[in-house]
Each structure stands twice: as structure tokens, then as C-alpha cells.
């Protein structure tokens, strides 16, 4: 009988500790990408210029959502994350179903790092240095188009 009581008490404590039974704050609903502001991006280098139509993650919820749950990303699409001041950006791929090329962009527009992000990987992908923006493009597009560190990324006025 004492063992049964001890098990019930332990289960109740675990239940309470895990947060189960308490109201949880639901995550905000995902926003349709069509509702995100959009702009045009060009990446130039080695005598070539590559245009992209990109969504702008211009709010904290949009930054958090990013390209999560997106199942396909056309070669000419992407997303830009930017800040008013340069900072070290840290990204991850939780709930992201597609591989991405992440371009870390300095204030002057030069690409200072390109990372290849793996779907569902929760490993931190860092800019390592303070940058003004992160651009996410279809995984492998940088290799295909010969986009490299030192190329210049420019976009039209961000909303």
C-alpha cells in the first residue's frame, strides 16, 4: 500500500513538474507567407547578377516563423531577416522541411558567410560576426549559381 501511495505521489509530482494540467500559452498561428512583405533581391559577383523575389521577416513573429513548415521553395524565392543594427545572428532549422543556403550579409551588402542548413537540425547556425541581414535561399542554389563569400546582396527598400 505504501508503495502504491508513493507511486501516486511521484506521478502527481511529475505531472505537476512537466506543466501538464496547467493552461499553456498557445503559439500564435502561422501567418501565410503571402501576407509577408516582399521585395526584390539581387546577388552580384564574378560578372553575374542573380535576381530573387524574397519575403521580408520584419517582425519578431515573422522572424520566429521564417520558412518553418514550407515544403517547397522555388529557386527564385527566399526570405530576408534584417536588423536595425548589426548583430551576431543565430538561426536553427526546427520545423523546417527544406534545406536552405543561409547568406550572412554585412552592412555594406557583402556576403561574409554562407551556411548550408539541414532540415529539422536544431544545431545553432551562427553568422559568427555581427551582420545586418540573413538571407535564406533554396538549398544548393549558391553552388548552382556560383554565389560565394564576397559577392554583394542588394534589395530594394525594405518595408
Q: Using one digit for the tens of pLDDT, what is the confidence trace for 3-33?
A: 333 333 333 333 333 344 434 444 567 899 9
pLDDT at 29 (0 to 100)? 78
CA-based nearest residue to 100, from 131, 134, 132 = 134
Distance CA 24, CA 11 (A): 20
Q: 41-72 pLDDT, tens per residue?
A: 999 998 999 999 999 999 999 999 999 999 99
Please state which architecture CATH assigns to domain 28-155: Sandwich (2.60)
E strand or H helix at 115, and its extent?
strand 111-117
Q: How many CB atoms lie within 10 A of CB 146?
A: 12
Percent of the chain with pLDDT over 90: 75
Do residues 128 and 88 make contact, with C-beta atoms less than 8 angstroms apart? yes
Backbone dihedral region for residue 33 (phi beyond 0: left; psi -120 to 50: alpha; all else: beta): alpha
Q: pLDDT band for position 84 (50/70/90)?
A: confident
Q: Does pTM top 0.85 for this prediction? A: no
pLDDT at 159 over 60: no
Amino acid at each position: 500500500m505504501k508503495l502504491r501511495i508513493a507511486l501516486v505521489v511521484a506521478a502527481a509530482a511529475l505531472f505537476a513538474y512537466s506543466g501538464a494540467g496547467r493552461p499553456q500559452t498557445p503559439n500564435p498561428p502561422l501567418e501565410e507567407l503571402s501576407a509577408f512583405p516582399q521585395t526584390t533581391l539581387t546577388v552580384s559577383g564574378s560578372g553575374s547578377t542573380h535576381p530573387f523575389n524574397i519575403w521580408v521577416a520584419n517582425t519578431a513573429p515573422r522572424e520566429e516563423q521564417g520558412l518553418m513548415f514550407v515544403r517547397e521553395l522555388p529557386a527564385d524565392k527566399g526570405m530576408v531577416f534584417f536588423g536595425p543594427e548589426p548583430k551576431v545572428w543565430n538561426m536553427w532549422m526546427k520545423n523546417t522541411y527544406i534545406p536552405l543556403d543561409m547568406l550572412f550579409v554585412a552592412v555594406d551588402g557583402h556576403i561574409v558567410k554562407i551556411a548550408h542548413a539541414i532540415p529539422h537540425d536544431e544545431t545553432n547556425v551562427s553568422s559568427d560576426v555581427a551582420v545586418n541581414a540573413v538571407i535564406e535561399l533554396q538549398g544548393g542554389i549558391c553552388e548552382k549559381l556560383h554565389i560565394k563569400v564576397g559577392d554583394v546582396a542588394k534589395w530594394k527598400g525594405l518595408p
